[in-house]
Structure 1
Amino acid sequence: MSVVPFEVTAAGPVRRVPARRRSRLALPVVIGLLALPLVTAAHHSRPAPYGDHVTVHARVADGAVAPELRTTGRAVEAYDPATGRPRWTYSREGARPLAVLPTPGHAVALWSDGLVTDTARADGSAVRWHRAIPGGAPWLRSPAARGAAGVLQPLDPRGRMLAVVTPHRVAAYRTADGDLRWVLPARPGCAFEPARSVRRGTALMIAQPCRDAATSWTAQLIAVDDLGRIVPGRTPLGNELPGGAADGVPPRAENEVARPR
């Protein structure tokens, strides 16, 4: 038994809807239903921001050992240290990874287009942030970059702060959110050499050779830590997340903007 639609007119009586009009009414509905899969497909096919492509190969149980990291041509790969099997891979369109720095919970990578990224190390579930190195791409493509050796440097044992060292400046980022905490420019007539750096205790010492031969050797070497350049009597800003401690670590007393008078 077929059901014939009815409609109520402005005058009040009920009448049958003609078959031709029923077809006109049904056409937009059919078109909408047909278009829905196309709209959904277009949504999923949109290019990821920054050309990101993350592939998760295996689920990771809570408390699993942190994966090892390596660069494999066009991607960063995290793999199980016991079996060697990949857990996740991360690639970006039009760029290749030059270096990768493993820290607790973070996989920081430097890319050939001058971008620095941070991926969740355990399972590759998210690329947390992207930061561009000003003027970094041309230098990274030059022989002077030496394969980007020393560009990525941890500034504390827990990996809460990251230094990006280039000839013109040292920039420090908070790994929790990629926030830029401080920038140290090179001395005029001098340039930092990322590959010539050494760690001593909590300090990172970086060579800063100068063109002027009369410049003292002490001016051609700087020491930094997570709070910036190490100099007597400094009063640096803190690196904690807004509203509390960073990664569960209480704020440091010497991080106050100025000492009490």
Structure 2
Amino acid sequence: MSWKPLRALTRRSVLPALAAVLVLGAGAAAHANRPVPFGDRMAEPGGADASPVSAQSLNTGQLELKVGPGLEAYDRTSGSPLWSYRREGATALYLAMAGDSAVVVWDDGMVTSVRTSDHEVRWHRAVPGLSEWLSGEGDPGAATRTDVERRQIAVQRATAALQPVIENEPGVAVVTPALLMVFRDRDGDLRFNSRPLGGCSYDPLRAVHTDDAVMVPRICGGTNGSGHPLPGGITGIRLDGQGWQLNAGPQVLLQRLDGHRVSIDDGPIVGHRIFDTRKGAPEPACGGPTVPFAALKPGTDCPAT
């Protein structure tokens, strides 16, 4: 058996190894100092510092959640701060619960889901056009608004934009005048998205949600071929993908009655009806042809109004 003695290290042989070490070190330093995705900053227990943008406060389990610069959590019993979640360069405007998650709308158009049990950020989703609508860019008179007015409008619109659904598979719908998107909370998966018909827009300020669905009025401008104004409508969607389109006037008013029923008031001509989002259909009117005897006491198929 033959063997070769170890070769003495020379300057030429040391340089490649030294260069490799320097490259690895620089890569590690860059990795350690790279910007946090989406500007996330989570403060440890005791590091919360809330200065709420709005008076919104939600109680969930042992936590009281508030909207401040970010999402602030407090102990419900003692009132002491527990943790604080912020995003660099963004301000939280509104939060809603989807199952066990707190879903937050930010002024830069981002929507974030945070699991409250361990304050883990689960997902972020950017919604096209949301930040512009929240800020009121392009509104008549926008240039003359004060900072307080701009903030009030942003909070009001963020409240309307975020519509949670909690039954079976929790999730949220995000509504802007030009777009409707529905996300599953478990993984942030996009389950549905829709744009209104040409010449029409959604009206988030009149949108409502039940436990399993979201209903959004549509406004349509212009006229049809006969010169009559284009009718409005209502878009309804469930997280499981089932949806429907309802005819309605431009001033239709929606009101949530309970976990599965929505009141639809469409003016003196079309009238009033109740829509069941679980069945995806209007409820029969009391005393109508679907009710054989008017003397029967109204039940689940014929609610008293």
TM range (shorter): 0.5 to 0.7
TM-score by length of 2: 0.56
Structure 1 match to 2:236: 223
Determine if contact 1:169/1:186 at 8 Å carries over to the other structure: yes
Post-superposition offset of 1:142: 1.0
Relative to 1, partners in 2 of residues 1:77 and 1:55: Cα closer, same or farther, differing over 3 Å?
Answer: same
The one of 125, 133, 139 equivalent to 1:131 is 125
Q: Using the alignment, how far apart are the partners of 2:85 and 2:171 within structure 1?
A: 22
Please give the secondary structure, in 2, of the residue aligned with 1:220: strand
Please name the residue that 2:57 is paired with. Answer: none
Give runs of aligned pairs for residues 104-183 of structure 1, distance below 5 A. Answer: 104-125=99-120, 127-142=121-136, 146-147=154-155, 148-157=158-167, 160-183=170-193
For the aligned residue pairs, the C-alpha RMSD in angstroms reads 3.8
Would the alpha carbon gap of residues 157 and 56 (structure 1) be closer, same or farther in structure 2, given more than 3 Å must change? farther
TM-score by length of 1: 0.64
Query: Does 2:52 correspond to 1:57?
Result: no
Specify the code of the residue in structure 2 equivalent to 1:71: V
C-alpha spacing 1:225/1:34, structure 2 compared with 1 (3 Å): closer
1:204-225 deviation per Cα after TM superposition (whole angstroms, max 9, x unaligned):
32222222474576x3333322
Among candidates 75, 79, 87, match of residue 92 of structure 1: 87
How far off its partner does 1:195 sit?
1.9
Aligned partners of 1:57 and 1:30: how far apart in 2? 43
**Can you list the C-alpha shifts for 1:80-131, whole angstroms capped at 9, x where unaligned?**
2222222221111121112111222212111111111111211213x11111
In 2, distance between residues paired with 1:165 and 1:66? 30
Q: Give the greater-gyration-radius structure (CA).
A: 1
* Count of residue pairs the alignment pairs up: 212
Q: Which moved more, 1:179-188 or 1:153-162?
A: 153-162
Change (3 A) 1:221 1:33: closer
Aligned sequence identity (%):
33
More RCO (CA 8 Å, sep 6+): 1
Task: Give 5+ residue unaligned stretches, structure 1.
Answer: 1-11, 59-63, 233-253, 255-261
C-alpha distance in 1 between matches for 2:234 and 2:206: 10
Q: Taking structure 1 as reference, are residues 195 and 56 closer, same or farther at Cα in structure 2, changes over 3 Å only?
A: farther
Q: 1:110 to 1:199 in 2, by over 3 A?
A: closer
Q: Structure 2 counterpart of 1:176, which letter?
A: R
Measured after TM superposition, the shift of residue 70 of structure 1 is 1.7
Change (3 A) 1:38 1:155: same
Tell me the alpha carbon deviations over residues 27-83 of structure 1, each in whole angstroms, 9 at most, x when there is no partner.
Answer: 99999999999876654332211111111316xxxxx9352322113x111222222
SS in 1 for 2:204: strand
Contact 1:197–1:207, Cα closer than 8 Å, also in 2: yes
Q: Which is further off, 47-56 or 146-155?
A: 146-155
**Distance change in 2, residues 1:30/1:172 (3 Å):** closer
User: Residue in 2 aligned with 1:70?
Assistant: 66
1:167-190 deviation per Cα after TM superposition (whole angstroms, max 9, x unaligned): 112111111111111112123222
1:165-204 alignment, distance < 5 Å: 165-199=175-209, 202-204=212-214
How far apart, in 2, do the equivalents of 1:181 and 1:142 lie?
28
